[in-house]
Amino acid sequence: MKLAYWMYAGPAHIGTLRIASSFKNVHAIMHAPLGDDYFNVMRSMLSRERDFTPVTASVVDRNVLARGSQEKVVENITRKDAEEHPDLIVLTPTCTSSILQEDLQNFVDRAQIEAKGDVLLADVNHYRVNELQAGDRTLHQIVQFYIEKARKKGELPTSKTEKPSVNIIGISTLGFHNNHDCTELKRLMADLGIEVNAIIPEGASVHELKNLPKAWFNLVPYRELGVLTATYLEQEFGMPYVDITPMGVVETARCIRAIQAILNQNGATVDYDDYINEQTLHVSQAAWFSRSIDCQNLTGKKAVVYGDSTHAAAITKILAREMGIHVVWAGTFCKYDADWFKEQVSEYCDEVIISEDHGAVGDAIAKSEPAAIFGTQMERHVGKRLDIPCGVISSPIHIQNFPIGYKPFLGYEGTNQIVDLIYNSFTLGMEDHLLEIFGGHDTKEVITKTISADSDMTWSKDGLAELNKIPGFVRGKVKRNTEKFARDRNIEVITAEVLYAAKEAVGA
Residues labelled catalytic: 294
Q: How many CA within 13 A on the CB side of residue 9? A: 25
Q: What are residue 354's phi and psi, to 5 degrees?
A: -115, 105
Asked if 272 and 260 count as a contact pair (C-beta separation under 8 A), the reply is yes
- Reduced to 3 DSSP states, what percent helix, strand and coil does the chain have, rounded to the nearest 5? 55, 15, 35
DSSP class per residue in 272-317: -HHHHHHIIIII--HHHHHTSHHHHTTTT-EEEEEESHHHHHHHHH
How far apart CA 218 and CA 239 sit, in angstroms, is: 7
Asked whether 259 and 191 are in contact (CB, 8 A), the reply is: no
Residues whose CB is less than 8 angstroms from the CB of residue 427 and which lie 6 or more positions away in sequence, other chains included: 371, 372, 389, 473
**How far is Cα 73 from Cα 213, in angstroms, rounded to an integer?**
35
Measured CA angle at 270 (ends 265, 272), to 5 deg: 120
Angle between helical axes of 377-386 and 358-368 (0-180°, round to 10): 40
Helix, strand or coil for residue 403?
coil
CA-to-CA distance for 39 and 17, rounded, in angstroms? 8
Would you say 159 and 169 are in contact if contact means Cβ atoms under 8 Å apart?
A: no
* Strand, helix or coil for residue 184: helix
Q: What's the farthest any 2 CA atoms get from each other in the chain?
A: 84
Separation between Cα atoms, residue 72 and residue 60, nearest integer Å? 9
| Torsion (CA) 172, 123, 8, 27 in degrees, nearest 10 | 40
- Cα separation, 477 vs 454, whole angstroms: 18
Helix (H, G, I), strand (E, B) or coil at 183: helix
Instruction: State the helix-helix crossing angle for 496-506 and 472-488, rounded to 10 degrees.
Output: 90
CA distance 49 to 61: 30
